[in-house]
Amino acid sequence: MLGYPADYLIGRKVHEFFCEQTSGETDIHLQRRRAGQDEIHERCFRHKDGSPVWVTLSAKSLRDEKGNFAGSFAMLTDITARKKMEEELRQSEEHYRTLIKAIPDTMVRFDRRLRFISMSDNIEALTGTSPASLIGKTHREAGFPEKLCAFWENEISGVFATGLAAETDFSFDTRQGEKIFNWRLLPEFDEKGLVQSVITMGRDITEHRRLEQKYRSLFQEMFDGFALHEIILDDWGNPIDYRFLAVNPAFELLTGLKAEDVVGRRVLDILPNTERHWIEAYGRVALTGEPAVLEMHHEGLGIDFEISAFRPAPMQCANIFINVTELKRAEKEKTNLQAQLHQAQKMESVGRLAGGVAHDFNNKLGVIMGHAEMALESVISSHPLHAHLTEIIKASRLSADLTRQLLTFARKQAISPRVIDLNETIQGMFKMLGRLIGENIELVHQAGKSLWPVYIDPVQIDQILANLCINSRDAIAGKGRITVTTANSSPDAAYCRNFSALKPGDYVRLTVADTGPGMTEEVKEHLFEPFFTTKEEGKGTGLGLATVFGAVKQNKGYIYAESEPGRGSIFTIYLPRHTDGRRNDVDEKEPADAPGGTETILVAEDETSILNVLRMLLTRMGYRVLAMPSAEEALLAAAAHKEQIDLLITDVVMPGMNGFELARRIRAERPDMKAMFISGYTPDSISKYGKLDKDVVFIQKPFTKEALAKKVRQALGKEEN
């Protein structure tokens, strides 16, 4: 047992071989045996090789015949293996106890009678009851609430009955208030395979549940859409589809798809037209783990999305997305408005140039027409010069039409708007339009019923239709059709968003559609620019559509062109509905003969050639004329003239004093004097110099002798306005 031979041990003291016991302790045990006390001890001896040997030492006292202590007899039983097992068990229990103390979970062991066998120390902080007071008791015996007792009796008994582990969540009142615990119940088996005890492990998940509820509420209530996808790969590891795992209510609102219809299903089963790049983009995020921000237009839903994609788990892609369709539309509208502003600025610049050129040209035309008309009066009809003068006058009037076209483009044309029926006006010029476009092209008028009246100069309608129809005629190769359509229209705000600048309201819509080859986007961008043309050199001025644009805008209307290559062109014009109920469809007609008179007229005109023409024309009509080349000289002439001055004819725009100021100053001394204003500019252009009320007589250069005569009689009050 100890590795020593018997003869080596004879005569030696026992305590020499003890590992831990001193000789003093041996003496104590010897005294006890002398006193007749038998003992059983566990002692640790030292083996010959130095290793410990545990034994059970049973000592019995020996006495002689007189009853005196004669020695002791001891039996040694080797218990080293048992002590080793006990030490290992002790260490294991200590390790177990340390582990139990270290983990935050609450651990309790129950026997088959549902009594506490052992538990972790933290149960006292949870229940307010010490572990020692719980040992050997059931929940009911320990005084726990009925709800808690019933719960544990049911759960623990279930594990004993089935031998299966279980897990459950349970909330109950603790010293820190109501808590939610996640409990795991684990069976412990004996050597026969029967459940001898159940270990319960409880973890406080109150905060976890609170956060879970918080994020669940966020998931449900967030305005942005959320979708969780599982990526599906082919045999080569390429993304070919994805399955919906979860979606939130915002997803349903944004897409119109219900959660019950999509969760668990593949996207290609739900939306077969889903573009491949969506699947590839989501797959890339799920495979690489790299988040991405994507902007995509989903053709299947017709929606623009901005998507933040990330990988929450392997082979998954989570998307947070917002509907940016309206934002994209607004950006497009902004771009269109910027383009329109740029276009308007260009047209305004060219318009100023065109207006200035037209003004100067009108002055020259006025001189030419005046002298030609006076010369024509002096030549008999059979004279060779008569025909030449007639052609000069005709060419002058045609040139005047050209300047009016320039001014219409520049929105500076003097117009005579009136309330008209658009159908009647169109029908009145249809024969002329037919001659313009030729026999190969069919001209159709689809007249809308009960058309609302519009307030516009009929001449401008002629200009608009002529230019649009000629433009369509030149675009059509061979046979084709031009359709002119009219209708009442009341576009709302939703409709107007598709057409920049158009505002909701009541309009009369005029449409000119052709079966020509259509236009590219590049051509459409420059369509209404002055001098822009796609025709061969010498076959187009580039002013036709610019003139149409100017006329429409001058009447507070809107014009849009729709076209695609190979699908013809459609020009749509919206003219505001006239609502004051007045109607005037009768054109004013100039008198055949120029009426004259004997009144005294003061003329102020800084353009000498125009001044001379006016003096001669008015003199021929019988008037007494005072012709002055400036406002200042006219003011002096009025002061010096002692007799009555019946009428002042003055140019509006002159160096120094303008015509309005001149009339005001002379009328201060001669309140009965009438005034008539002339200008190569339009009323809109001269408004900064003074106001042209509806009773003010105004005539724009160039003008015929007959027109001048009529306006003079009107200004003198000798003819109805």
Residue 95 has pLDDT above 70, yes or no: no
Task: Pick the more confident residue, 359 or 475.
Answer: 475
| Tens digits of residue pLDDT in 259-296 | 889 999 999 998 888 888 889 999 999 999 999 988 87
pLDDT, mean of residues 549-558: 86
- Paired with 44 in beta bridges are 54
Residue 122: exposed, middle, or buried by beta-carbon count in 10 A (0-12, 13-18, 19+)? middle
Phi, psi of 684 (to 5 degrees): -60, -40
pLDDT, mean of residues 124-132: 81
pLDDT reported for residue 215: 57
Q: What kind and span of H or E run contains 150?
A: helix 146-162
| Tens digits of residue pLDDT in 451-470 | 999 998 887 888 888 888 88
- Using CA atoms of 89, 93, 99, 105 in order, give the dihedral in degrees to the nearest 10: 130
How does the average pLDDT of the chain come out, rounded? 79
CA 2 to chain centre: 94
If pLDDT is split at 50, 70 and 90, which confidence band does 590 have?
very low
pLDDT, mean of residues 220-245: 87
Residue 668 has pLDDT above 60, yes or no: yes
Residue 501 has pLDDT above 90, yes or no: no
Residue 210 has pLDDT above 80, yes or no: no
pLDDT, mean of residues 338-348: 68
pLDDT reported for residue 626: 94
Please, what are the domains in the chain? 6-84 (3.30.450.20), 103-210 (3.30.450.20), 222-323 (3.30.450.20), 418-576 (3.30.565.10), 600-715 (3.40.50.2300)
Query: Considering the chain, what percentage of its residues have pLDDT values greater than 70?
Result: 78
Which 8-state DSSP code applies to residue 10? T
Query: Considering the chain, what percentage of its residues have pLDDT values greater than 90?
Result: 21
pLDDT reported for residue 452: 93
Q: Is 701 helix (H, G, I), strand (E, B) or coil?
A: coil
Residue 88 has pLDDT above 60, yes or no: yes
Task: Pick the more confident residue, 626 or 686.
Answer: 626
| Tens digits of residue pLDDT in 36-73 | 566 676 778 777 787 888 887 777 777 777 777 666 67
Residue 148 has pLDDT above 80, yes or no: yes
Enumerate the H helices of 163-233 as residue ranges. Answer: 206-221
pLDDT reported for residue 110: 92
pLDDT reported for residue 720: 47
pLDDT reported for residue 56: 79
Q: In three state form, how does the secondary structure of 248-315 look?
A: CHHHHHHHCCCHHHHECCEHHHHCCCCCHHHHHHHHHHHHHCCCEEEEEEECCCCEEEEEEEECCCCC
Tokens at residue 634, please? 């006219």
pLDDT reported for residue 587: 41
pLDDT reported for residue 541: 47
Residue 378 has pLDDT above 70, yes or no: yes
pLDDT reported for residue 216: 60
pLDDT reported for residue 14: 67
Residue whose entry in the numeric block shows the structure tokens 């502003």? 341
If pLDDT is split at 50, 70 and 90, which confidence band does 23 have?
very low
pLDDT reported for residue 538: 42
